[in-house]
Amino acid sequence: MASARRLPCGKVPWELVASKVCGALPPEVLRGPACGEDAALVRMGDELWAVASDPITFTARDAGRLVVLVNANDVAASGARPRFFTAVVLVGPEAAEPARIAGVLAEIRTTCARLGVTLIGGHTEVTPGLPRGILVGTMLGRVVDRPLATGGLREGDRIGITKFAGLEGTSILLGEFGERAARACSADALAAAARILHGDWLSIVPEAEIAWSEGAVTALHDVTEGGVGEALHEMAAASGRELSVRAEAIPVLEATRALGEALGMDPLGLIGSGALLVGCAPAGADRLEAAYRAAGIPFTWIGRAGAAQAVPSTGVARFARDEVLKAWLLDGIDAVLFDMDGTLVDSKYDWPAIREALEIQGHSILDELDAMPSPRREEKWALLERFEREASLKARLKDGAKELVAVVRARGLKTALVTNNSGGSVALILERYGLQFDALVTRDSGLYKPSGAPLVEALRQLGVAPERSLFVGDYLFDVVAARAAGCARVGILYDPEGRFSRDADFTFPDVNALRRHLEFVL
């Protein structure tokens, strides 16, 4: 079985990375590994150089171009002009076509030339067992005037952003879903997006160069994975400050909003390469804004930096995993398993009162009941079932729940309901609302979450391997159980405070958002 500690796709948490990569540095290294900082600073003779490294998936459109631009962005955001580049190209056997590899290498060289960068080396190979090819770039650039950092914000600084949120995510979604994506947007919205997404829109080097020349600029951070929300969190953490940002002030293209609505994606969590966050002292704010206006680069003030604060805050949701990853959440999936209470059904349980009546102190009610001596155990079990029956009689389906299950079944995916509720209570709800599933596992089976056993049993009934399944729930036990069962992915609904979502593979605000997403992608 898979470990309950398996990390979901996306950035590895800095807290895990820091203890392994941070340590003593030689004097010529002015900046090494640090939260939110995408480039190191190294003194070479009398010059200060920025060094950055980032990967790109080989299957991405224009992969050779992208790997140069994203690395150039990291160097430019440190106050350096991109100068030298190395590339590692790892290709899986199935994609090892000479013409394709040559095409990617040509893209790399052409993009380097356009930026005034010299390709100075690298490595290219066909790698056994690699399902998707990977390009890893390393960019070096000489600091032009003074180094800049993600963590340079000072109290009172204004915070602005160039261009728009979620640009790269918008480009990816338009390319991935073609006509379906186009139908979700108005003609005017598509035309506006096309005007922005042309040429080297992904590059933030021009706007970074303008920032270098304004002495009042204190911090730069290019927006990438996790979108503006995550980039702001990194800026706050690196600066050790509270940020006061107005989410409604962050510029978002109409096409990005439309796609986000259709796919249940927050535009502020979409991968946002092409946008640059800028911190600037108030005295230089007007000059900076005028410089961007003169260059024809869209620029918007969105907030201010506040006082020093140990725990970073921004006023905007953060996204440990990029919202664009939701586009592929059903890839390779043959079955969708659902939790019931809190996920598909709105059941009114007064859990503090129930725990008191059952004399339960620990985290798991069911485990504690099982551990009680007889006849007290039977008495408390009967009491719990009475509470459950009363709640089930009053329970209501979540808005859109029946439609969600119907969408999954209509697309040929198998479904199962896996719940810690009793069989009798579940039967009442299924009969009342006409819900149908291909498999049903309640705690009457003797199996219950957070163990992965009930999910394994449901998959056995469905004849589906765990690695071909998706589990949807609303609580920590759902995440733990899905990981223990080896489910390919686990999603969380109804978690506005993010208590459980960080350990899941995806999250949606409610059933209808997930339903709209599945109707779009399936």
Instruction: Return the structure tokens found at 479.
Output: 């995440």
CA angle 231, 234, 240 (to 5 degrees): 140
Q: Could you tell me which residue, 74 or 14, shows the higher pLDDT?
A: 74
CA distance 433 to 414: 19
Structure tokens at 471: 């589990």
CA distances from 318 to 232, 235, 237, 436, 474 (A): 8, 12, 12, 36, 19
Mean pLDDT to the nearest integer, 119-133? 93
Structure confidence at residue 199 (pLDDT): 82
Please report the pLDDT score of residue 366 as a whole number: 82
Mean of pLDDT values over 97-120? 95
Q: Average pLDDT, stretch 327-342? A: 94
Spatial CB neighbours of 39, under 8 Å, sequence gap ≥ 6: 31, 50, 51, 52, 74, 75, 77, 78, 80
CB count, 10 Å around CB of 453?
A: 18
What totals of helices (H) and strands (E) does the chain contain, helices first? 17, 19
pLDDT for 3 = 44
**Each residue of 413-456: pLDDT tens digit?**
999 999 999 999 999 899 999 999 999 999 999 999 999 999 99
| Per-chain mean pLDDT for the chain | 92
Is the pLDDT confidence value at 1 over 50? no
Cis omega (within 30 of 0) on the bond before 450?
yes
379, 358 Cβ separation under 8 angstroms: no
Q: CB atoms < 10 A from the CB of 14, how many? A: 17
DSSP assignment of 231-264 equals HHHHHHHHHTEEEEE-GGGS-B-HHHHHHHHHHT
**Spatial distance between the Cα atoms of 80 and 41, rounded to a whole number of angstroms:** 10
Summarised one tens digit per residue, pLDDT across range 453-477 is 999 999 999 999 999 999 999 999 9
The residues facing 456 across adjacent strands are none
123-128: long-range pairs with CB below 8 Å, 24+? 123/87, 123/88, 123/89, 124/88, 124/89, 124/91, 125/89, 125/90, 125/91, 126/91, 126/92, 126/93, 126/96, 127/90, 127/91, 127/92, 127/93, 128/93
The pLDDT of residue 436 is: 94
Check whether 2 has a pLDDT greater than 50.
Answer: no
Distance, in Å, from the CA atom of 48 to the CA atom of 343, rounded to the nearest integer, reads: 54
Give pTM, 2 decimals: 0.86
Question: Domains plus CATH for the chain?
Answer: 25-143 (3.30.1330.10), 158-324 (3.90.650.10), 335-347+395-521 (3.40.50.1000)
Q: Helix/strand/coil (H, E, C) string of 154-168?
A: CCCCEEEEECCECHH
Residue 11 C-alpha from the chain's centroid: 8
Q: Of 374, 467, 373, 370, which Cα lies nearest the Cα of 420?
A: 370
- What's residue 101's pLDDT? 93
Residue 189 CB neighbours (<10 A): 18
Tokens of 82: 């991109």
Pair type for strands 241-245 and 299-308: antiparallel
User: Beta partners for 414?
Assistant: 335
